[in-house]
Amino acid sequence: MDEKNLAAVVMAAGLGTRMRSSVPKHLHPLLGRRMVDWVVATARAADVDPIVVVSAPATAGEFDGLEVAVQEKPLGTGDAVRSARAALAGRADDVLVLSGDTPLVTAELLRELVRTHRKSGAWATVLSLELEDPGSYGRVMRGVNGSLEAIVEAADATDGQLAVREVNSSIYVFRAERLWPVLDRLEPHNAQGELYLTDSVGLLTADGGTVAVHKAPDPQEAIGVNTRAELADAAAHLRDRINEAHMLAGVTIVDPQTTWIDAEVEIAPDVVVHPFTIIRGATRIAGSAEIGPHAVIVDAEVGEGVSAGPFCYVRPGTVLQAGARAGVFVEIKNATIGQGAKVPHLSYVGDAEIGDDTNVGAGSITANFAHEAGREKGKTTIGRNVRVGVNTVFVAPVEVGDDAWTAAGSVITEDVPANALAIGRARQVTKEGRGGKRND
């Protein structure tokens, strides 16, 4: 942001009991990322470095690739930030304190917060937001010059203070040289013995320092997530942001409110995404593809001009090459579908390779089970320009050569050479008078 070094402490040590979950709150998934990962990604986008995540001992191993400080006991937000002191010693002029449960915070908001902090020369700056219903948030009490006088917790507020709609977001910037000493002065004021970071703000004010306030223009960006209902609301906001970014980049999303796209998905211009489509993981979709409606695409490579849907499930490891089709009620897993190849409807293709311009008839299946426990699943390889008759079952491992055909209803258990017709079914036997109607 400027020549001063800005570090971040991301508080992610709480259990989040209000989520009613065995999964810690900060690790709940949101459009392909955990909640805390959204906060870390935003800090990185705001050019913050280093970033230290404060974790409980039980979840310290959940943050591979991140710098972690462990809060040994749950002694409150003040102790959580203090846990990162050793990790940041000598590495920061200012310290940005973030909550790991604020996935909607944006890089631009963090930049504005830091600009306010440094321009004011404050010892600390609080990010506030204004809410119609402030609820249990701590109230921000300002002085005549607009600086912070106090943060009053709702439980301790008077009726007049409760009427204040500007509240504390629990996101701050501190001068490092002021932050670390004041954390050592925190004292518990509750039966749990917890140390509250908000008390450090009061101590700095009492010491004669200026504590500035930066109000978020959009309060939604600073809202924390504490319940499943709030998690769903955050997901909807993130969905809208992701979809808008894709549409501005040239993707047609027919109904953004029913389309869910994970954060890491890449979609080229001129792709059309129809309603009720879910695109997840590290999926990549090339230009002019048409996806949906009611399609689910997960960790797949989708080539130019591909048609996937409606009602198809494309699972991890799948490659749909240019012009391929995955049609109605088709499931494909860990398979490559060649250029111009078609799996039009009612089929399962797993652990397979299908050549260019091949057509797979309705109801066909690659039976890719492992014959013995612990063995890899068998692979089906089908060549170019093959015509697979309806209701064909390929019992892997098996190979079918180029230009071959299979007869409808066949079970293919042996390799089929190129340009051959394979018939793998019992001859029909008709016994008259053995139907449902009986003569008395």
User: pLDDT class for 112, splitting at 50, 70, 90?
Assistant: very high
CB atoms within 10 A of CB 289: 25
Checking if the pLDDT of 157 tops 70, the result is: yes
181's CB contacts (< 8 A; 6+ apart) are none
pLDDT at position 1 is 47
For residue 182, give the 3-state DSSP assignment: helix
How many Å apart are CA 56 and CA 72, to the nearest integer?
Answer: 6
Structure pTM? Answer: 0.91
Q: For the residues 126-154, what does the mean pLDDT come to?
A: 87
355: pLDDT strictly greater than 90? yes
User: Sign of the C-alpha dihedral, residues 169, 174, 179, 185?
Assistant: negative
Confidence of residue 371 (pLDDT cuts 50, 70, 90): low
- Whether 344 has a pLDDT exceeding 70, the answer reads yes
23's tokens: 């999964």
For the segment 14-21, the average pLDDT, to the nearest whole number, is: 80
306 vs 435 pLDDT, higher one: 306
Q: Which of 28, 237, 345, 371 is catalytic?
A: 345
* Catalytic annotation present for 246: no
pLDDT tens-digit profile of 239-256?
Answer: 999 999 999 999 999 999
Check whether 396 has a pLDDT greater than 80. Answer: yes
Q: Which residue has the higher pLDDT, 369 or 21?
A: 21
- Partners of 376 in beta bridges: none
**Adjacency order of strands within the sheet including 331-333:** 260-261, 278-280, 296-298, 313-314, 331-333, 348-350, 365-367, 393-395, 411-412
Which has the higher per-residue pLDDT, 337 or 189? Answer: 337
| C-alpha closest to that of 270 among 255, 296, 291 | 291
Q: At residue 85, does pLDDT exceed 90?
A: yes
Distances (CA, A) of 161 to 133, 141, 200: 13, 8, 20
Each domain of the chain, given as residue ranges in start order, spans: 6-222, 228-422
Arithmetic mean of pLDDT over the chain: 93
Q: Which amino acid is at 82?
A: R
The fold of 228-422 is: UDP N-Acetylglucosamine Acyltransferase; domain 1 (2.160.10)
Helices (H), 249-296: none
% of the chain residues with pLDDT over 70: 96
Whether the CB-CB separation of 332 and 315 falls below 8 Å is answered with yes
Question: Does this chain's domain 6-222 share its CATH topology with 228-422?
Answer: no
CB 335 within 8 A of CB 350: yes
Query: Cα(153)–Cα(141) distance, rounded to whole angstroms?
Result: 11
CA distances from 399 to 341, 353, 382 (A): 17, 9, 6
| Rounded (to 5) percent helix, strand, coil in the chain | 25, 30, 50
6-222 in CATH: which number?
3.90.550.10
State how far Cα 88 lies from the chain centre: 28
Mean per-residue pLDDT for 411-436?
Answer: 90
Residue % of the chain over a pLDDT of 90: 78
